[in-house]
Amino acid sequence: MKLRIISNKDIAFCIWLRNLVNNKRWPWIGRDFVGTVPRGLLEGAAEFSYPPIQSFSFEKHPLEDFDNYSSKFKGFIKKVEKIHSKEWRKYEKDLRSGKKFLSKTIKKYGDFIIKTISKTSKNKWRFSEIWFVPVIYAGGTVVGNKVFVGCNNRTEDKFLNLIIHESFHVNEPPREEMEKFTKNFRLPRDSREIATVLMTNKVINRLNKKFKINLPPQNFHSYFREAIVKFQPGLYKLAENSKSFYSLIKSVDDFLSKKGYKGYY
């Protein structure tokens, strides 16, 4: 497995644009644009969610991926790119620090993390390389084999947690296979995300033991943390006994369904 750090403004703009046009479908990312993108643009962005974004390669500027976009979409891209460029300049220091930390982390822990993820999940890697791309975003996003790592106001502990968590998503089976597996689950997306946090913490525990460090566990995301706080002891017990990522997702879904958890997604 080859781990690459790709610091590229055009590629970072691609994921920023993808998140922007999906801010209504994915409300947990909408807060990143409040106060930055004018309300009119923010509310109208959903018009371009499908199908244009699906044609992005996330390897170059979006206008270089396909030259047959509508004039309206091209105009929207040029307009919001000015906002992204302004934010990029604002966070240049964070982006440089993020790139530096990514380089240091991958050099020191990368091989161990990649091997431990596969060993823990029991999933083989589908890709021969992973790209880690610093972006102006408070969280992390995965598209294929690309991990977009938000550099805004991030401590080193949270940075490393994020790298492990998002790498787990790269390690997941193809979406069609995952959807088939979770077809009859009551809480497929919640269970998958919660299981990813639990798996991330298993890797963190092994990382701490191997390198004699004290990286804290990753917290559950704020959008459902309060709803499941009373279930956390039981969830951690499930993780201890899990044999694979698939089995843990199923166990989480069964457990939370029995507890009456209604789900976030």
- 17 in Cβ contact with 41 (< 8 Å): no
pLDDT tens digits, one per residue of 121-139: 999 999 999 999 999 987 8
Cα(94)–Cα(30) distance, integer angstroms: 21
Q: Which residues touch 39 (CB under 8 Å, ≥6 apart)?
A: none
Burial of 234 (0-12, 13-18, 19+ CB in 10 A): middle
Lowest mean pLDDT among 63-72, 144-153, 163-172, 177-186: 63-72
Residues near 103 by beta carbon (within 8 Å), at least 6 away in sequence: 5
Q: Which of these, 113, 116, 114, 265, lies nearest to 192 by C-alpha position? A: 265
**DSSP-based three-state secondary structure for 140:** strand
What letter would DSSP give residue 217? P
Q: What is the pTM of this model?
A: 0.91
Mean pLDDT value across residues 60-71: 83
pLDDT tens digits, residue range 176-200?
A: 999 999 999 999 999 999 999 999 9
Cβ(122)–Cβ(246) below 8 Å: yes
Across-strand partners of 130? 3
